[in-house]
Every structure is written in C-alpha cells, then in structure tokens.
C-alpha cells in the first residue's frame, strides 16, 4: 500500500523540524558531535563559578552539574562488588529506600581465582548493568592494588599478588562496565597496600618495584581498558598524598599514559588546594566525611577544590589552565556517560546477574586439598551431613566498609547445602560464636545470631553431633568485622579467629570426614591441615554463596579455581613482614613505610628465597586429573622485536570434564640486575572432556622478558638465556624450555 500524501508531508515536515532543532541545539547538547567539540562549546558557556562547582562533591556520592545548561550531576557508587544502597545526602547511613537492593557479586579475589578473563568480562557487564539501572555514572571499582601482605584488611577487595594477572582481568572488567555508559573508577592509585595508617603512611618504594609490581594493572586499565576514571589513594608517596601527587598523577598517569579521564579523590583523601590544583586531582569527594555534621558551609562549599579554589582563581593565585583541564575532564566523563545520547537502562537483580554471580563463584572457588577423594559428596546416596560454623548462617555481604551491600537476597551456605543434599540430611551446630552484629550504616539484616553458650559448650555440641554423620562440613573463615576482612583496619594475625582451630581439631578426632570451607578474602593458617582431608577456599561469594558452595561440594561444578595469592605458612615468611616494613601502630603523624622486599612480592619472594608456603600461588585441584606433555618452542632465538611461541599439550586423564589453568612463567637465567626466580607472563584456562587433549599456546615478545631499569628509567630486555616454564601452579612445574634473546 502506498503511503498517503499527507503522511509523506508530515514526515517531511518532521524531518525538517528535527534538522532545525539540531541545527539550533548548542554543540554541547548534540550527541552526534565529537566529544571534544562538545566540551569546548560547553566550557565557553560556563562561568568560573560553574566550572569550580563541577570539581567537588555536593553530597556524599554526587557532584553538581550545571543546572542552567542542563548538564547533569555525576553520581558515584561503590563498587566494586555490588551497587551500594542509597545513603542520606550527607551521611554514610542508608537513606531507607526500598528499591535499592542489589546483587552481591563474588569478591575480587574470587574473580582473580577464576584466572579467566571471560569471567572478568561477565562481571564487568553484569555489575555495569546494575549500576546503570540505579542511574550511577561512576562505579567506584575495580580495586587492583597488589596484595603485598595477606593481612591487609582490604585484600578481598583487590585481585591478586601478581601484576600480570591483575592486568589481564582489569581490562575486560573495565571495558564491560563502560559498555553500559558507566565509568569504571579504578582504585586506589597507588601503593595503598595496607589499611592501618592509610592516610598517614608515606610509602618508600624503588622505581623498579613501582613499575614492575605496583603500576602495571593501573596502566593496563588506562591504556588498554580506557578507564574513564581513577581514584587516588589515601596514603602518601614521596611525601605527597596520592590524591594530589605530582609524580603519580601528572608525570605518570596523565603524561606518560595519556589518561584523559577524571582523577577522583578517595573519600577524604584530599588535603591541600595548592596540591590538588597543581597535581592532577579533578574531582574531590568526602573531605570532612562527617558531611552535614559540620554544617554545609563547613563542608562542600569549603572543600579544597571549592571556595578556596575559586578565591584563588579570582585573586590570581591560580591560573585557569588547570581549571580548564579539570573541567574538560569532568565534562568528558559526563558526555561519555549520562550525556552520551545512547538510551540504555540496565537491569537490577536479573536472573542473568544471579547466574553470572554463581558462575564466577563456581570458577573461583579453589579446592585446596582432597585426600581420599572425599569430595565431591554424592547426594544420591543421601549422606548424613553436619554443617558447623557461624559463616554457614551469617550474611557476609553486609559490613567490611565501603563494600557493604544491601542485597536483594543472599543464599546462606547452610541453606544451599540443605537445598542440595536434602534438609532432612543436613543438621547444624554453631561450633563457635564470632561477631553477631547484623547492622551496618543503618541496614539490619534482621538475623538473630546471638548465642551465649561458652566455647566449650559449643565445641562439645559440635563434637557430639559429628559422631553420627557421614560428613562434617565446617563453614568458617573470617567475617567483615574490624580486624578481619574489613576496610580501615588490618588483620592482627594470619590465624583463624574465634576458637575455630580448636573446634576443627576436636571434631576431626571423632569424625575424620571433615571438609573445611574457608570463607575469607585472604589467606589463613591451618594448623590442623594434616588431619583434615578436604579444604576449599570459598572467598566471599556474595548473593549466591549457598548455591556456589553446594555446586562445588556436590560435584555439580568441577572446581577450577587457582590461588591468586600465596598462602604463607606464617606471616614472617612474607617478604613485606620479613625484610620489608609494615607499620601497624596507628599514627596520625606521617610515618615512612619502606617496601624493602622491593620487587619480591608474593610468590616472587617465596620462589626466590626458596620458602615453602602452605599453598603456593597458582595452586588449585580439580575432581579430575590432568597430564602435561613436554613443552616446545617454535624458535630457539627471539629477536628484540620478534616473538616466540611456547606450546604444551594438556590431557584430561580423569573421568570428569574439567578445566585446567595452564601457567607460563619466565625466568631470566642471567641478568645484570637481580630478578625474581620466575614471573607469570601467560595463563590459559582450558576446558577438557575426559581423555581429551588440547594444545595450549603462548606467544610472548620481549616485553615478557624485560625489567624496569631504575637508572636508565626504561624497560629493558637483556640479551641472553631465558627459560619458559610451564606450571600447574608456581610450585608445580610441568616442563621448561630454554631460548635466547638476541
């Protein structure tokens, strides 16, 4: 049917009208114009007051836009494991909304334990969609600080002890968040590797360690992931706070890496207008984090980048060069996100997001020990199971600092196990009482966890009940209370808290079929390890905790996670505590913390010093077995601008399908500077059916062989002999091939 004449006329009129509106629309509003032109146009229209107003908070998590020009506010949210509840305008306290519950995704250590960049992409996509639905423009995450010490209270928020692993995962995470039109704000830049004294510690570190260990993940996030925002850290470096640190922000981030995004201060991390103006801070948040308690005129208006900045510009103390640079960055962020012109809505608590959380958890849980093949537990045989431990019944998505979440639901381990093995088969004993608090920032989980029995009574009950069952599943570990896996404090020791070691030892005496499930973001010691047949490292898994743990214990999912952190036998074995400095005595004065272990962080230290850990970096078992062929290399010599390819066959020699993480380490056999025994330079997760063989290939170039030369201030690959080492972990070496760099 032909369109009616009038319809054609109306369509033509509409086209003209739209074209006219477009023609008349200011360039900054025209989403079809290049972003840089939109920025220039908007800047020309703004007053100095409006510009300054863009550069600091107006509430706990938002900064003002320019109302007069229709430029919206910027809304941030923690991050990085779920979208935080809405808080009161000026307080950390929740605002009491009923529409702001989210999904808690697994902790970033769990993500790192998947050793799978597809999981990082899925994570970024899912959390980005949740952020978008909640109208957030900036997700405050991911965190990629190197796990220098296992007692850092925020270990669970970060990824691993290895810069290569972190870099491989942060890039897909960031890209997939940002595909939603939500900026990822990679944190905490840089050298924030402890919580005690986090605002007063001045980190002393060599350039070599800075470039080789502490910066690569940030660099990858910026140069490969194109992160739109980065968060300065609380600590100092070269005696300057990192939120306005010339070397880190101006010289490295903005000049060398050409970062065109926004540097956001950590909440309360800004301390000086002069430094903030000159040294690269763009957006100030959280100064005097008490917010309104100080009164509005003492808070937002007086932020370092608010009135003091405006006054300084007016009096000629500051030029407008820095101002325009900062404003253009904030506008770029707005045009990339809320004013990108793309209609996207995101989704919250969708089935897909729950499935993603469960999948990532299933791939990140690590099977540390499985004697007698006690796992998986065959549910079809209706085994009698006793579950012991507070972490089986306590919601662990709440608390821990800025990662605390108000979740739509959290399936507890006990419920997950009951669902899978039958409620009639699963009994529960508390075993120990840890922290019974169920509130944080105004959110109450409503759980009733109080139990006033003595430690002896609790142990006796667990021991008595353990005698009558086929298996005991002890769900313990740590929680999000101060001094454990929690922001603002570090752990006092590596030991499991709350008498857990004694309870485990007492139970295993009466029932040797004990499976220990360690819910913790960081390593713990296991003095009972010789007598306990099975251990899984279950991290903090979030909303799908119960399902993911049941998936692994029942064998519905074959474990394929590998440790992204070395589990030391004792704290003194860690480089940072052995020769390096770790300042644990709280101080308000600036205290130096020297990273004397230098580049020997994590397994680099353990390998080089030949110290045997409890469990090595890269380690994890499966319910099947894998055999490795002899690795081969395509050429014996690599040229400076060339590459080599290392190949190895991996076969599933067991009866179940499973995935193996094949790891490539490089050793420099002779070098002018000391180097670690070996360094991770490649990894691949391969899925194999029983009997199946796949060839895993790694192509590396000279960047995988290089070190940072402090004196020459450049990366350098020295000609000479190298070894490509194939491992199932950093300690389980399957084969080596030598080659030469010419």
# binding residues, ligand BGC (CB under 6 A)? 7
Residue 681 and residue 702: Cα distance in Å, rounded? 11
Task: Give the chain's radius of gyration (CA, Å).
Answer: 27
Shortest distance (Å) from residue 188 CB to ligand BGC: 6
Task: Please tell me the number of Cα atoms within 13 Å of 240 on its side-chain side.
Answer: 21
Q: Which CB atom, from 56 or from 187, has the smaller least distance to ligand BGC?
A: 187
Q: Which CB atom, from 231 or from 688, has the smaller least distance to ligand BGC?
A: 231
Q: Which CB atom, from 17 or from 95, has the smaller least distance to ligand BGC?
A: 95
Q: Residue 386 corresponds to which tokens in the numbers above?
A: 């006793």
Q: Which CB atom, from 94 or from 554, has the smaller least distance to ligand BGC?
A: 94
Helices 455-466, 500-510: axis angle to 10 degrees equals 30
What is the H or E stretch that residue 172 is in? helix 163-178
Q: Binding ligand BGC by CB under 6 A: which of 187, 369, 491, 604? A: 187
Q: Which CB atom, from 155 or from 537, has the smaller least distance to ligand BGC?
A: 155
Residue 619 and residue 426: Cα distance in Å, rounded? 31
Nearest in space to 726 (alpha carbons), one of 715, 737, 716 = 737
Shortest distance (Å) from residue 294 CB to ligand BGC: 17
Residue 594 and residue 687: Cα distance in Å, rounded? 43
The answer to whether 108 touches 159, Cβ cutoff 8 Å, is yes
Q: Binding ligand BGC by CB under 6 A: which of 140, 186, 379, 469? A: 140
Residue 463 and residue 466: Cα distance in Å, rounded? 5
Nearest in space to 166 (alpha carbons), one of 192, 130, 193, 142 = 142
Residues 529-558 that bind ligand BGC (CB under 6 A): none
Nearest in space to 254 (alpha carbons), one of 173, 164, 325, 179 = 325
Q: Do the strands 679-688 and 658-668 form a parallel or antiparallel pair, or are they unpaired?
A: antiparallel
Residue 562 and residue 519: Cα distance in Å, rounded? 15
The answer to whether 395 touches 409, Cβ cutoff 8 Å, is no
Q: Residue 414 corresponds to which tokens in the numbers above?
A: 């006990």
Binding mask 45-84 for ligand BGC (x = CB under 6 A): ---------------------------------xx-----
- The DSSP string of 637-688 is EE-TT-EEEEEEEEEE-SSS-EEEEEEEEEEESS-SS---S-EEEEEEEEEE
Cis before 190 (ω within 30):
yes
Residue at token pair 């850092």? 152
Shortest distance (Å) from residue 88 CB to ligand BGC: 14
Residues 310-329 that bind ligand BGC (CB under 6 A): none
Residue 492 and residue 718: Cα distance in Å, rounded? 42
Looking at beta carbons, which residue is closest to ligand BGC? Answer: 402
Shortest distance (Å) from residue 298 CB to ligand BGC: 20
Give the distance, in angstroms, between the CA of residue 466 and the centroid of all CA atoms in the same chain: 37
Q: Residue 370, SS3?
A: strand
Q: Which CB atom, from 407 or from 704, has the smaller least distance to ligand BGC?
A: 407
Shortest distance (Å) from residue 546 CB to ligand BGC: 27
Binding mask 395-414 for ligand BGC (x = CB under 6 A): -------x------------
Residue at token pair 């669970």? 156
Shortest distance (Å) from residue 442 CB to ligand BGC: 15
Shortest distance (Å) from residue 330 CB to ligand BGC: 18
∠ CA 432-433-435, rounded to 5°: 140
Q: Which CB atom, from 487 or from 660, has the smaller least distance to ligand BGC?
A: 487
Residues 221-280 that bind ligand BGC (CB under 6 A): 266-267
Residue 266 a catalytic site member: yes
Nearest in space to 330 (alpha carbons), one of 39, 136, 70 = 39
Catalytic residue among 266, 435, 441, 668: 266
Q: Which CB atom, from 187 or from 394, has the smaller least distance to ligand BGC?
A: 187
Shortest distance (Å) from residue 254 CB to ligand BGC: 21
Phi, psi of 631 (to 5 degrees): -65, 150
- 86 is a contact residue toward ligand BGC (CB under 6 A): no
Q: Is 206 left (phi over 0), alpha (psi -120 to 50) or beta?
A: beta
Q: Do the strands 262-264 and 426-429 form a parallel or antiparallel pair, or are they unpaired?
A: unpaired
Shortest distance (Å) from residue 42 CB to ligand BGC: 27
Q: Which CB atom, from 410 or from 441, has the smaller least distance to ligand BGC?
A: 441
Between the two ends of the chain, the Cα-to-Cα distance in Å is: 73
Q: Which CB atom, from 403 or from 518, has the smaller least distance to ligand BGC?
A: 403
Shortest distance (Å) from residue 482 CB to ligand BGC: 14
Question: What are the residues binding ligand BGC (CB under 6 A)?
Answer: 78-79, 140, 187, 266-267, 402
Task: Cite the active site residues.
Answer: 266
């Amino acid at each position: 049917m032909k369109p009616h004449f009038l319809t054609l006329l109306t369509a033509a009129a509409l086209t003209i009208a739209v074209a006219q509106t477009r023609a008349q629309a200011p360039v900054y509003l025209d989403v079809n114009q290049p972003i840089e032109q939109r920025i220039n146009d908007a800047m020309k229209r703004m007053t100095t007051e409006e510009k300054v107003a863009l550069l600091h908070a107006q509430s706990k998590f938002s900064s003002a836009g320019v109302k007069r020009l229709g430029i919206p506010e910027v809304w941030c949210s923690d991050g990085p494991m779920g979208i935080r509840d809405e808080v009161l305008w000026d307080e950390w306290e929740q605002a009491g909304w009923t529409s702001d519950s989210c999904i808690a995704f697994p902790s970033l250590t769990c993500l790192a334990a998947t050793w799978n960049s597809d999981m990082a992409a899925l994570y970024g996509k899912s959390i980005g969609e949740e952020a978008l639905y909640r109208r957030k423009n900036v997700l405050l995450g991911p965190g990629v600080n190197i796990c220098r010490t296992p007692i850092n209270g925020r270990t669970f928020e970060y990824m691993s002890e290895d810069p290569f692993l972190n870099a491989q995962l942060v890039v897909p995470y960031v890209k997939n968040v940002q595909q939603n039109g939500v900026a990822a704000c990679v944190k905490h830049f840089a050298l924030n590797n402890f919580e005690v004294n986090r605002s007063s510690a001045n980190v002393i570190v060599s350039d070599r360690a800075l470039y080789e260990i502490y910066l690569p993940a940030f660099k990858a996030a910026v140069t490969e992931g194109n992160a739109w925002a980065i968060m300065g850290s609380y600590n100092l470096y070269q005696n300057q706070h990192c939120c306005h640190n010339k070397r880190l922000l101006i010289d490295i981030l903005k000049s060398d890496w050409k970062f065109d995004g926004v540097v956001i201060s950590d909440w309360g991390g800004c301390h000086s207008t002069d430094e903030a103006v000159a040294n690269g801070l763009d957006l100030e948040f959280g100064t005097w984090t008490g917010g309104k308690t100080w009164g509005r005129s003492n808070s937002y208006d007086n932020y370092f980048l608010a009135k003091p900045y405006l006054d300084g510009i007016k009096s000629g103390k500051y030029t407008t060069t820095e101002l325009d640079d900062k404003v253009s960055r904030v506008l770029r962020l707005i045009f990339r996100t809320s004013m990108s012109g793309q209609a996207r809505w995101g989704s919250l608590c969708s089935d897909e997001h729950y499935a993603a959380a469960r999948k990532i958890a299933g791939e990140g849980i690590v099977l540390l020990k499985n004697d007698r093949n006690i796992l998986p537990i065959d549910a079809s045989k209706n085994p009698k199971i006793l579950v012991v431990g507070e972490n089986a019944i306590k919601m662990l998505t709440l608390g821990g600092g800025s990662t605390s979440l108000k979740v739509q639901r959290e399936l507890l381990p006990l419920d997950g196990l009951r669902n899978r093995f039958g409620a009639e088969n699963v009994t529960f004993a508390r075993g120990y009482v840890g922290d019974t608090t169920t509130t944080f920032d105004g959110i109450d989980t409503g759980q009733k966890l109080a139990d006033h029995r003595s430690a002896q009574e609790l142990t006796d009950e667990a021991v008595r009940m353990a005698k009558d069952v086929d298996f005991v599943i002890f769900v313990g570990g740590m929680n999000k209370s101060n001094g454990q896996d929690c922001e603002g404090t570090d752990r006092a020791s590596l030991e499991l808290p709350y008498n857990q070691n004694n309870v485990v030892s007492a139970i295993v005496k009466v029932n040797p079929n004990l499976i220990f499930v360690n819910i913790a973001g960081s390593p713990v010691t296991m003095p009972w390890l010789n007598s306990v047949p099975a251990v899984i490292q279950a991290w903090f898994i979030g909303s799908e905790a119960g399902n993911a743990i049941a998936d692994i214990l029942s064998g519905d999912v074959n474990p394929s996670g590998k440790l992204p952190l070395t589990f030391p036998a004792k704290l003194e074995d860690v480089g940072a505590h052995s020769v390096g400095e770790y300042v644990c005595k709280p101080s308000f004065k600036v205290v130096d913390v020297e990273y004397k272990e230098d580049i020997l962080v994590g397994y680099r230290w353990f390998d080089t010093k030949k110290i045997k850990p409890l469990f090595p970096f890269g380690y994890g078992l499966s319910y099947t077995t894998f055999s490795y062929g002899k690795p081969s290399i395509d050429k014996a010599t690599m040229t400076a601008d060339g590459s080599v390819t290392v190949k190895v066959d991996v076969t599933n020699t067991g009866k179940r399908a499973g995935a193996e993480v094949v790891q490539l380490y490089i050793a420099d056999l002779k070098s002018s500077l000391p180097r670690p025994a070996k360094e991770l330079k490649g990894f691949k997760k391969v899925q194999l059916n029983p009997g199946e063989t796949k060839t895993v290939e790694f192509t590396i170039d000279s960047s995988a062989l290089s070190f940072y030369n402090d004196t020459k201030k450049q990366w350098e690959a020295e000609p000479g002999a190298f070894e490509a080492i194939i491992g199932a972990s950093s300690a389980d070496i399957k084969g080596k091939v030598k080659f030469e760099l010419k």
